[in-house]
Structure 1
Amino acid sequence: MTGERDDADPLIGHVHGRFQPFHDGHLAYCEWAAGECDELIVGITNADPSHVAAEAADPDRDDPRNNPFRYHERHRMVTAALSSADLGVPVRVLPFPINRPSLWVQYAPANAVHLLRVLEEWHEVKAARLRDHGRAVHTIEAERTVSGTAIREAMAADHERGDGADSGWRGPFRIPSPPWSTISTASPASDRCTAIERRWRRRRRRNGDQYPGDTPAATDPHTSNRSSGAWIRPASVRRNRPASAPSTTR
């Protein structure tokens, strides 16, 4: 199976997470990713208990206490949240067994671009794993604005108290303003990924984005060049999409 395609094909983006539960930080992640592609697949990890495995970079992720919601519950959460968000691209919500690379092709097309926000070591491990198995990956550095652990602990406290009171875990969480983001340009692991990345960059350049090695657009207010030499753009800047683009999740 080959992942090559031409510029006429839609660019498929892929994000993934446990979503225990799906919160505003995850929504901001999906909003950023939707601006990078023509179609978005949202993968739910640990969908099947048999796919759960211990990970040295994230030793608590397989603890049952950190996974209170079943797949069908998380699917409903994600679908409802993204339906209301109107991301501007078609969205599909599917399982994604990050611990089982042999199964990835069953849930994520080989020509998809995996879009990751790196907040911790585990996210770097996932990006490296995807690249090692021939997947095209693009990352941005980000800061954690919402803690899923804090939400779960507050929910557990409400349940244990059993008096009907609400500790307020549903607020004050708000969608943060999209941060200025650095697009990673790490080399992919195969010629197929290289072709996907080249196509991705061509598409982005047509929308006015710049990359290391390009001629700086000094008058472009959406680009800036930090001391690292990487080109930066606000994640909130998106290309204009046709008015007829589907906007509901399926």
Structure 2
Amino acid sequence: MDQLNYWAIADREVEIQNPITDRKLRLLDDYCSIRDGMSVLDMGCGKAWLMRHWAEKFAIQGVGIDINARFLEAARRKTPARGQLTFHNASVKGFKIEPASYDVVLCLGAAASLGDVPSALEWMATAAKPGGSLVLGTTVLRHPPAVPKGDILPPDTVSMMGVMERHGAEVSATISASDADYERYQSHQRHATLMWARDNPNHRDHAEVLQKSRDDWMHYQRIIRPMLGWTIFVGRKNG
């Protein structure tokens, strides 16, 4: 199965490709002190909702990187009112960045594109100017299991802030998804994949799409829903 096509199917009903609302994302306007003339880099940008929102309001220079061409088609669909956005259909690992050249570096749910959170933060810190904002959205542990499970669980918010600080960024704000935010996002993905399977019964990936959809849905119900959350951490690069 083509994994890029699977995620294009799963996220076809949503513009914001994370378990967070537009109202909460708009808080980043202030937390990142967005203003005209700023440069923004979004790694694993997907449909780039946040950067497109900023480019409607501010004359920013934005760069988005994503390996999924279908997502970038959606990101390019409308020319922003004020900012200029450039999108690259490329892997984040293979994208060459100018060190210390961006006012804001975003990684919203895309740390896996560089392997893990520490690797993503190292990449982000390299790209950001001194005093620039590092904005990391990632899964966090909220309710540790009473009996240790075999699954590898993420750190909690306090530990994650420590990871950011070890990469030279003091956390100044956090924004967390609610249980309802997470449920809505996972339900959109489940619904979209089931509707696709109903409409495409003879597609060569039909069975695999259904299996991955069920696996992800049950992982949400068994692991994410009772134990995990999703939080955006806003840090300022030292210097």
Q: Which has the higher helix share?
A: 2
The TM-score normalised by the length of structure 1 is 0.37
Bigger Rg over Cα: 1
More strand by share: 2
Query: TM-score normalized by structure 2?
Result: 0.39
